[in-house]
Amino acid sequence: MSSELENENVLPLLMRTPNYKHSLGSNRDKFIPNPAATSATVLQLFEFLGMLIAFSLMQKETALSLSICSVMWKHLTQQPLDESDLAAFDEMVCQSLNKIVHIEDDGVDEELFADIIFETFTCQLSNEVQVEVCEGGSDIDVTWHNRQRYCELVMRKRLEESRPQAHAVLRGINMVLPVRLLSLWTHKELELLACGTPDIDVGELRRHTRYGVSVDPNDTHIRILWRVLGSFTPEQRALFLQFIWARNRLPSSEAEWGDQSMKIHTLETAEPDKHFPVSHTCFFSMEWPRYSNEQIAKEKLTYAITNCLDMDADATAEGRANMAMASNEEDD
């Protein structure tokens, strides 16, 4: 469901940040509400998203695999928005506004300003639609004297472009939980509670890992596994967790971890470099071949997490071993 919500070809709700399109700044993998999503039908879908967020807040075992920029979460918690929130989804515009405000630092005076700046009181939203930032803005030229006001209005317009969608999300949340409770959290806390840890902490994952009876944590192929995971990007680590556990975020606290742990078995074969790792998502487990070097291991695991997304039946010796490990944990 989260994947569909973030798929622009499936639903017109969320879109990639301008930072993604420009390959500039942070949060290139995150999403923002589509400013064009204002019809009654689409706003109802945002209300449904709000209900999903409320459910995830109520159930600790439920986490939404959503990567939404801070501007949305701040709208939900009613925290003030600032320049950093604009930079979080459109670094290029943020830099341009700062350049205009402090243009004298580049040796530009009032006379030269008129020769190099040809803007009016308009701006382009994240969906590339041009809008006025004030009434009649398309007929008002940006000058040396009004440039500060222009930048303030553009900043406000861009930060407010998600407000209609955020209000719809709040209506959805309020169908399940009183929205006044959201003010108890910061925007970061709310995102953490709703979506879990945004990146996969390899150290934390390692602390919550158990090994099969024939596996020594100091085995060469096990050390290679941890080096490969450490070299992965956040997106690749999320794909790895999806591959092995059908989730792309870790639990947000030790209490949520409970007795859960990742389990690693050795895939015994005469030619390990010719085999891919095998996951057992129902048991948060993986069979890992004794790869001869890190490069081969990384290539094999990268292919597996990118292309092998079907859950298996776990009807293997390792699957039965996982069941035995789980049974022993319950007996303990």
Give the pair of three-digit tokens for residue 303: 């292919």
Give the pair of three-digit tokens for residue 77: 């918690």
CB atoms within 10 A of CB 49: 26
Provide the b/e sequence for 82-104 (b: ≥16 CB within 10 Å). Answer: eeebbbbbbbebbeebeebeebe
Check if 282 is active-site: yes
What is the DSSP annotation of 258-278? TT--EEEEEE--S-GGG---E
Catalytic residue among 134, 195, 282, 308: 282
CA 171 to chain centre: 23
Catalytic machinery residues: 282
